[in-house]
Amino acid sequence: MSPSPSADEGRVAAAVADLVRTLDPGFPVLLWTGERIGAPEGPALVVRRADAVARLAFSPRVETLLGLWMDGTIDVTGGSILDLAARREARTKARGAWKRLRKRGLVALLPALWRLRRLGPAAGTGAEAGADAGASGSTRQAIQYHYDVSNRFYELFLDRRMVYSCAYFDGWHDDLDRAQEDKLEMICRKLRLQPGERFLDIGCGWGALLIHAVSRHGVVGHGVTLSKAQFDLATRRVREAGLEDRITIELKPYQELAGTFDKIASIGMFEHVGFRHHDAYFGAVRKLLRPRGLYLHHTIARPAKRDLKTFHRGSREYRAITRFIFPGGELDYIGHSLQKLEAHRFEVHDVENWREHYGRTCRIWAERLEAQFEAAAAEAGAPVARLWLLYLAGCALAFERGTVMINQTLVSRRDKGPSGLPPTRADLYA
């Protein structure tokens, strides 16, 4: 006769408790039995069912962990994901912990885990990829998968202008509205926008940069997006601002754009393009930009590796993000971006790393979403709200730790003679 499920659960709980004590993750763990291993106070990782351990044991993948987080089987109590990470970073690393594990005991536990794995719901992430493998993340399908969750959902954690890209902090304050306005102004200053110039925003989001550039700097603005939700709200905001005669927004791919522009910005859009489409993208930007016109290339990047094969492999966490958060998207590295820009006859003038700015931005977003979690779950469903909470907290930690970068690169369409830029950058900070 096989052991009862409760007997299996008890054996697994005892083994997990021993594992946690030996490995010392730096934070407490609260098991389905009610036992808490570690400090009695503060945030703790919660494992609500024994079958979660079984699912991880037989499918030790990021996707499995993601599914357990999304359905609430794994959770955090007494604080946030960021609080838990802070406790882990503060711990003293236990040397030789793996050697001290009783590995025979873990092997003996496999039959119990095998039986328990059938008790819970079928494994799954609750999220499906929004694009075919190898397809560009800038397709309409992929963009709408990410951005059309709902405008209300994004309103819960973004600033009042709904700027969904890295803010710019003149000091490490928490005023997101101010930091995003400062970012919009810095972009306009770097582009040296002048009244009457034609300005294009590729991937214009909810229209914040266009409205700022037109109302503050007197340009004529044009934007494109593939998100229907963004397009609807952006056009409404332009209308409410009384700028319909100076801003046009189209729901179309950047590849279908025509005409010539004096200045172009791409803020947080290039991540969606994908390596296979970089040449086509930079070729399209060059075609749209007048000679010596300025282009601001603002994009997230990963640090370069010793070779391209290693770089493209990426981490398991990175592969999960590009499957379940930004389907079809890929992060470049700064050296490759600069090489491609020069190959497409752009002159590179300035490169600025905003990594710490994005770390702070994502941390504020995660904290705001955590505070509005019930409203977010009601709007988009608890699994989606939990996925975005994990994603934003993970991004904050990645930028803060330096495993992910973000750069603003200012270039001009190469031509003979002077660049037209001032001799110093003092005007940016005047």
Rounded distance between C-alpha atoms, residue 391 and residue 375, angstroms: 18
Is 362 in the active site? no
The per-residue DSSP string of 69-111 comes to: HHTTSEEEESS-HHHHHHHHHHSPP-TTHHHHS-HHHHHHTHH
Phi, psi of 37 (to 5 degrees): -105, 125
Rounded distance between C-alpha atoms, residue 142 and residue 9, angstroms: 41
The per-residue DSSP string of 42-68 comes to: S-EEEE--HHHHHHHHH--SHHHHHHH
CB 359 within 8 A of CB 400: yes
CA 422 vs CA 10, 98, 190, 425: distances in Å: 71, 59, 11, 7
CB 42 within 8 A of CB 88: no
SS3 (DSSP) at 319: helix
DSSP secondary structure code for residue 248 in this structure: E
**166, 204, 362, 395: the active-site residue:** 395
DSSP secondary structure code for residue 270 in this structure: G
SS3 (DSSP) at 315: coil
CB 377 within 8 A of CB 336: no
Residue that has been written with the tokens 């009384």 in this structure: 242
Q: Looking at the DSSP assignment, which residues form a beta bridge with residue 413?
A: 346
Q: Which helix (H) or strand (E) holds 20?
A: helix 5-23
SS3 (DSSP) at 322: helix
E strands, 252-345, are 261-267, 289-301
Q: Rounded to 5 degrees, what angle do the CA atoms 278, 413, 238 make?
A: 80
CB atoms closer than 10 angstroms to residue 139? 20
Q: Which helix (H) or strand (E) holds 77?
A: strand 74-77
SS3 (DSSP) at 222: strand
Question: Annotated catalytic sites, by residue?
Answer: 395
